[in-house]
């Protein structure tokens, strides 16, 4: 293996370890929140990446997790505000997704009667 191939291999392994750490952190964080455990299991991915790849990749993992989680939360909050203000989602994809969620996961939600969603 020459120098360039070795560097490509190293960068590929670094990227895989960072993405693996993100997946582990998000997954274990979800499980911890789901069961209400008073543990910080969402740091295990960061610890694993730090032990395998070093400090800098271990710093990248929680930053990526934070950006991912905030993007999901702000998207859900933005969509909720849009439904409250306008009465329905303004984009067809969001409208289909909203209909899917309300029909499959929230069939008996009493808050639907408060807002004119299906006008």
Is 91's pLDDT higher than 50? Answer: yes
pLDDT in tens, 26-76: 899 889 988 888 888 889 999 999 999 999 999 999 999 888 887 777 777
Q: What is the pLDDT of residue 114?
A: 47
Please give the model's pTM, rounded to 2 decimal places.
Answer: 0.61
With tokens 């070795």, the residue in question is 6
How is residue 83 written in tokens? 């439904």
Alpha-carbon span 20 to 61, nearest angstrom: 9
Instruction: Examine the pLDDT at 118 and tell me if it is beyond 80.
Output: no
> CA 23 to CA 39: how far, in whole Å?
18
């Amino acid at each position: 293996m020459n120098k360039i191939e070795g560097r490509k291999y190293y960068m590929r392994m670094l990227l895989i370890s960072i993405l693996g750490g993100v997946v582990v952190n998000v997954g274990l964080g979800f499980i911890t929140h789901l069961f209400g455990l008073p543990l910080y299991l969402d740091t295990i991915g960061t610890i694993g990446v730090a032990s395998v790849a070093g400090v800098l990749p271990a710093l990248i993992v929680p930053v990526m997790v934070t950006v991912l989680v905030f993007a999901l939360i702000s998207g859900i909050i933005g969509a909720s505000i849009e439904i409250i203000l306008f009465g329905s989602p303004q984009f067809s994809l969001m409208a289909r997704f909203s209909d899917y969620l309300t029909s499959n996961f929230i069939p008996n939600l009493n808050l639907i009667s408060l807002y004119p969603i299906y006008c």
